[in-house]
Amino acid sequence: MAFVFEIEYSSPNGYIAEFAEALAKEEGAKVSLLQNAGVITLIADEADPNLAGYLEKLAELLPASCFMGSSSHRLTDGPPVRLKEEVKRRLPHSIAPCPKCMKEIFDPSSRRYYYPFTGCNCCGAQYPFFEKYPFIRQNSLMSFFEPCEECANESRSNPFRLDYPLISCHRCGIPVRVREGRRERFANDPASFKKLFEAAAGAICDGKRVAVKTLFGYRLFYDAESADTGRRKVMMVTDASKLGSLCSLIDEEIHALLSIERPLIEAAVADETLFGAYGRFTRLKYPDEGFTTILAKELLALGRAHVAYETGGDMADADMVIEFDLPTQPQKDCTLFINRSVRFFVEGERSLFPISLKERSDRIVVAYDMAAVPEADRVVVDRMEKFGSAEASSLYLLEGEEVSLHHSNTIRFSREIGSVLSVLREHGLEKESAVGVYFRKEPTFIYHNGKKPIVAVPAIEFDSKNLRRNIESLREESRRLVENFSEKFPGISERLFGGAADIFEAASIIAGLPDPGFDTLSEEALKFGGKGGLKIDTRLKNSRFDPYTFLSSLISYRLGGAESELLAYSAFESLADYISETLGELKVRSKAEHTVLCGRAFGSQSLFSRVRKSLEKDRFLMNIALPIDRENAIIGALAL
């Protein structure tokens, strides 16, 4: 009889199936694997003497994944079907080390003990070292390093590292430099690497700032309680058992943080003693690559359950710098949003791209410096510079995108339509009717009849240069409103009318918040503990959202003495009500079958919770394995 094991898996990424396949080879089990239509299927002969041992190892070692759902198994009559192996292009991953590689990193007898560049075909930070397709050693930064004899032999015999492009160890790998003031030293063997990480952890505990060039880019680590910079930071938790006591998390969020994708998650700080260091809300992370994994172990040994880090800041202020000389190209970290049973990626590339879609296409799609390129019966989506030449009958180009590509049949598409179609496409519903909203800075409503999408309610573009004039011209009393606001809050008025970039930045300035922007306003809204907000005006012109009416209403309430928490909450509540009402009206008028939500703004818990409650009788759709903004438009354009 045939043994069939199925795992729900919502991403086209192949690293989980690759791990299961490599483990089968290592255990000597004859297994066929197929990943298709949201399921990884494993088929084997029930009588295989190695099957039971393989399944035990699989249960022990298979990495947890954000994309993994439930699993089931069954026995079927007849011999197992041997599935034809697909010829797929090898794609570089950007994920955490798998359990097998983690064991090597912390095994003193391993030749990769404390080696932060440890990885295999199924895991690790591969993308930062990847230069162009095909993904082979010659097309990576590791082409500068010749594998030692042991690594060369391993690449021919270890199922997890067969032809692994980045294979290396202490003997043939990348040296790391440590700088403290004028002192400089190198780590290039297990003992020196261990001393390096012990010194880094000790420096952080002593209140110093340590800049580390991790495999995912530079990060500035410090103890937020003793060496706070006052800038937006991430709390990296070193002790998984402390996640629930440090921050208010549900089980699904803890599982996601510990998954091999290691996303960022926005969370409320539960430990009140940390409010001064992290605020009431923070971004949360579990160590996600070799450097942070080893540093976390040393910090935990010194009794530190968490450490703060920043990205993109000034690393020149660091007391210690740990780096290596290769010019890596890390991807943007991904942020996962969870609200009860709903989860989606708000933004980011890491662990989401590149992807290979099983379909035929005769077009190239370009958006946000990324491209969808057809290859035989597949489409690969990655950064443009990673591809060589390609043939296609048409070029679909995002509106406003300037590229050096030229094609006689170039078709422009909008990010709003591309994003909405990407949701329908992930759900296999692109040929059915739907209404949707794309909301990044201003909401735009789309209607799709199953054949052609159109903009049903366009956004009124926010004009920061003429913000004062646009508010003053709303109605007769508006000029006096602006004058009163400027007299009472001269500093805030100057910031507001001096060039607020969008409605979220403008709203947070009106509320008197430092570091104005979407994230700041969203966090402030979560502090509100009341039952309901103020009614903020959102419509004026032909039922379209009017940003100037919206901001004028916020100014009125601020003059009336409304606190920042109430203003922030009311802003999101009123926006949510406008979106829900408009979607409902469009759906009734058009008799559309589905409702779609997409765009960065839905990453606000206050906005999303209100919209979800309003649409609870109407099942809405969102992206599954794609971010809800920007890059998702590339996939949507494949359906145009």
Amino acid code (one letter) for 117: F
Q: Residue 86 pLDDT > 60, yes or no? A: no
CATH number for the domain spanning 426: value is 3.30.420.40
Over the range 306-323, which residues count as b (16 or more CB within 10 Å of their CB) and which as e?
bbbbbbebebeebbbbbb
Residue 245: both structure tokens together = 């006591």
Whether the Cβ atoms of residue 608 and residue 340 lie closer than 8 Å to each other: no
Determine the Cα angle at 260 with ends 4 and 147, to 5°: 100
Q: pLDDT tens, 231-273?
A: 789 999 999 999 999 999 999 999 999 999 999 999 999 999 9
Enumerate the β-bridge partners of residue 373. Answer: 380
In a domain, residue 470? The reply is yes
- 3-class SS at 539? strand
Q: Residue 93 pLDDT > 70, yes or no? A: yes
The answer to whether residues 365 and 405 belong to one domain is yes
Whether the Cβ atoms of residue 188 and residue 175 lie closer than 8 Å to each other: yes
Confidence (pLDDT) at 115: 98
* pLDDT tier, 16 (very low <50, low <70, confident <90, very high otherwise): very high
Residue with tokens 């990044």: 440
Q: Residue 43 pLDDT > 90, yes or no? A: yes
Residue 207: both structure tokens together = 């209140």
In a domain, residue 22? The reply is yes
**Residue 538 DSSP code:** -
The answer to whether residues 514 and 570 belong to one domain is yes
Residue 379: both structure tokens together = 């489409």
Enumerate the β-bridge partners of residue 264. Answer: 335
The answer to whether residues 461 and 586 belong to one domain is yes
The answer to whether residues 242 and 287 belong to one domain is yes
Per-position DSSP letters for 387-456, written without gaps between them? ------SEEEEETT---S---SSEEEE-HHHHHHHHHHHHTT-TTS-EEEEEESSSEEEEEE-SS-EEEE
The answer to whether residues 255 and 367 belong to one domain is no
The answer to whether residues 453 and 561 belong to one domain is yes
Q: Residue 87 pLDDT > 70, yes or no? A: no
* pLDDT tier, 172 (very low <50, low <70, confident <90, very high otherwise): very high
CB half-sphere exposure, 161, CA atoms < 13 A? 22
Contacts of 255 (CB under 8 A, 6+ apart): 64
Contacts of 114 (CB under 8 A, 6+ apart): 105, 106, 190, 193, 194, 197, 294
The answer to whether residues 525 and 637 belong to one domain is yes
In a domain, residue 203? The reply is yes
The answer to whether residues 520 and 573 belong to one domain is yes
Among residues 384, 205, 170, the alpha carbon closest in space to that of 307 is found at 205
Q: What is the pTM of this model?
A: 0.94
Instruction: Decide which of 377, 412, 447 is a domain's last residue.
Output: 412
Whole-number Å distance between alpha carbons of 526 and 639: 37
Instruction: Decide which of 389, 412, 435 is a domain's last residue.
Output: 412
Whether the Cβ atoms of residue 578 and residue 545 lie closer than 8 Å to each other: yes
Q: pLDDT tens, 318-375?
A: 999 999 999 999 999 999 999 988 999 999 999 999 999 988 899 999 999 999 999 8
Amino acid code (one letter) for 115: Y
Whole-number mean pLDDT of the chain? 94
Please return the burial class of 367, using the count of CB atoms within 10 Å of its CB with bins 0-12, 13-18 and 19+: buried
The answer to whether residues 371 and 318 belong to one domain is no
Give mean pLDDT, residues 85-102.
Answer: 86
Domain encompassing residue 374: 353-412
Q: Residue 512 pLDDT > 70, yes or no? A: yes
Q: pLDDT tens, 46-77?
A: 999 999 999 999 999 999 999 999 999 999 98
The answer to whether residues 613 and 484 belong to one domain is yes
The answer to whether residues 581 and 492 belong to one domain is yes
Confidence (pLDDT) at 541: 62
**Residue 385 DSSP code:** G
- 3-class SS at 443? strand
Whole-number Å distance between alpha carbons of 90 and 15: 10
Confidence (pLDDT) at 402: 87
* pLDDT tier, 37 (very low <50, low <70, confident <90, very high otherwise): confident
Confidence (pLDDT) at 315: 77
Confidence (pLDDT) at 84: 57
Among residues 320, 291, 369, 337, the alpha carbon closest in space to that of 522 is found at 337
Could you give the number of structural domains in the chain?
Answer: 4
Q: pLDDT tens, 583-618?
A: 999 999 999 999 999 999 999 999 999 999 999 778
Instruction: Decide which of 76, 106, 139 is a domain's last residue.
Output: 76
Contacts of 126 (CB under 8 A, 6+ apart): 92, 93, 94, 119, 135, 165, 166
The answer to whether residues 431 and 478 belong to one domain is yes
Confidence (pLDDT) at 518: 94
Among residues 189, 286, 271, the alpha carbon closest in space to that of 236 is found at 286
Rounded (10°) angle between helices 503-510 and 490-497: 170
Q: pLDDT tens, 271-291?
A: 999 999 999 999 999 999 999
In a domain, residue 334? The reply is no
Confidence (pLDDT) at 88: 64
Q: pLDDT tens, 373-431?
A: 998 889 999 999 999 888 899 999 999 988 888 899 999 999 999 999 999 999 999 99
Give mean pLDDT, residues 486-510.
Answer: 94
